[in-house]
Amino acid sequence: MARKPDHLQGSLDLLILKTLEKQPNHGFGITLHIETVSEGLLSVEEGSLYPALHRLERDSLISGEWTVTGNQRRARIYRITPAGRKRLAEAEESWKNVHKGVARILRYT
């Protein structure tokens, strides 16, 4: 039985949730968003995105739904759930803490 993570697995989940917090999007849109916003600093390994999406969906942090996009294509659109928002807030907090901690250590040495 898969273990339910009590904190987000790595940064990919955080990025996905953060992206979907603004607006629902499909997988490719999420990839694109992360690439453009991070100005190319972060690139998502496309292959690992989808298993992550489905895991988040299984854990009810996001929900996916087939819709037809502007140019008449079927795409699976994901949106963040209230549980996802809560988890995102916690993750952002812990990420900031980690970031702060690491920064302090870097400053100290």
Partner 1 sequence: MNDDELREEIESHLRMRAEHNSISPAEARKRFGNSTQIQEEMRSMHISVFADQLRQDLGYALRRMARQPGFTFAVIATIALGVGAASAVFSVVDRILFRSLPFASEEQLVWLGMTAPLASDEFLLGGDYFDWREQQTAFTHLTASAGGSCDITETQRPEHVRCLRIAHDYLAAFGIQPHRGRSFTKDEDRHDGQKSVMISHALWRTRYNAAEDVLNKTLEINGVQSRIVGVLPPDFEVPNLQQVDLAVPLALNETQQRSRKSFMMFVNGWARLKPGVSIDQARTLMQPVFENSLQYVPKAFVKEVKLNITSLRERQARDSRATSLALLGAVLCVLIIACANVMNLFLARATASAREFWIREAIGASRFRLTRQNLTESMLLCFTGGISGLVLAYWFLQTAIVIAPSDIPRMADASLDLRVVCFALVLTIAAGFISGLRIEVPARSWTRPALVTLQIALAGALLYATALLGESLWKMQSVPLGVTTDRLLTTRIELPSRKPDVRAAFWTQLQQRIAALPGVEAQTLSDSLPPNGSGGMIFSRISVDGKPEDLSAGTGGMACVRTIAPGFFEALRVPVLKGRSFEPMEPESIILSERIARRLFNGSIDVLGHKIRPGTGETWRTVVGVVGNVHNKGIESGDPEYYLPLSRERDAGGLILTVRTSGEPERIIDLIRTEIHALDPHLPLKFETMQQITGKLTARPRFSAAILAFFSLAGLFIGATGVYAVVSFLISQRSKEIAVRMAVGASASQIRRMILSTSLQWAAAGMLGSAAVLSVVLPLIRNLLYRTAPTRPWLIVTVLVAIGVVVIAASLPPARRAARSDPMPVLRQD
Residue ranges binding partner 1 (CB under 8 A) = 1-2, 26-28, 31-32, 45-48, 50-51, 53-55, 57-58, 66, 73-76
- When the beta carbons of 46 and 93 are compared against partner 1, the nearer one is 46
- When the beta carbons of 18 and 31 are compared against partner 1, the nearer one is 31
How far from chain centre, in Å, is Cα 59?
Answer: 13
- CB of 95 vs partner 1, minimal distance in Å: 23
- CB of 75 vs partner 1, minimal distance in Å: 5
SS3 80: strand
- When the beta carbons of 75 and 95 are compared against partner 1, the nearer one is 75
The residues facing 62 across adjacent strands are 80
Return the C-alpha torsion angle 92, 93, 99, 101, nearest 10: -170
- CB of 83 vs partner 1, minimal distance in Å: 16
Q: Could you give the CA distance from residue 68 to residue 73 in angstroms, rounded to a whole number? A: 5
Largest CA distance in the chain: 56
